[in-house]
Amino acid sequence: MTKQRVDNHSTEFGLWLRVQPEIDSKKEGYVTSNVDYVWSDYRSGKWMLIEEKRYNSWPKPWQRKTFKLLHDVSQHDPNYKGFHLIIFEQTSPEDGKMWIDGRTVTKEDLFEFFRFESKEFMYEINHLDVVSLPKSKDAWYIP
């Protein structure tokens, strides 16, 4: 049977999808994943994809596979600034540490990142982005 959500962060349609035997993921092989944010600056055309994780959680293998697919097809656009993973120690910048692609950041760093004002290496597609995540998050964090 399709894995049910353990939280209440879904829409009615999302909940409905998970109980349909005709598209059961275990039996039929279908997998779904959402992207949390498509962040863009409509003036410059710059854009990036962002996955958010709370409570130090980590993308599941099927999510990483989907994210790699999206990353690969987006690389042809010179305005594409990567697929990034933002992890919160708790739930937001207000209640704990946070990391962008393994780098510890402050709230101001986060604002700069969203304004596309961070140093260019923060947007490099070959940086420690969500596409090339190691299997263990312990090997990923950068002090």
Q: Tell me, what's the pLDDT at 76?
A: 93
Does residue 130 lie in a domain region? yes
Residue 105 domain-assigned (yes or no): yes
Q: Is the residue at 71 inside a domain?
A: yes
**CA 83, chain centre distance (Å):** 7
Three-state DSSP class for residue 81 = strand
Residue 4 lies in a domain: no
Please state the domain count of the chain.
Answer: 1
- pTM for this predicted structure: 0.81
How confident is the model over 4-37, as pLDDT tens digits? 555 566 789 988 988 888 888 888 778 888 899 9
Is residue 9 a part of any domain in this protein? Answer: no
Whether 122 is in a domain gets the answer: yes
Instruction: Read off the pLDDT of residues 102-113 as tens digits, 9 standing for 90 and up.
Output: 889 999 999 999
Residue 128 pLDDT greater than 50, yes or no: no
Q: Which domain range does residue 117 map to?
A: 33-139
Task: Compute the half-sphere exposure of residue 74: CA atoms within 13 Å on the CB side of its CA.
Answer: 19
What pLDDT does residue 109 have?
A: 96
Confidence class of residue 61 from pLDDT cuts 50, 70 and 90? confident
Q: Which amino acid is at 36?
A: D
Measured from the Cβ of residue 77, the count of other Cβ atoms closer than 10 Å reads 11
In a domain, 129, yes or no: yes
State residue 6's pLDDT score. Answer: 56
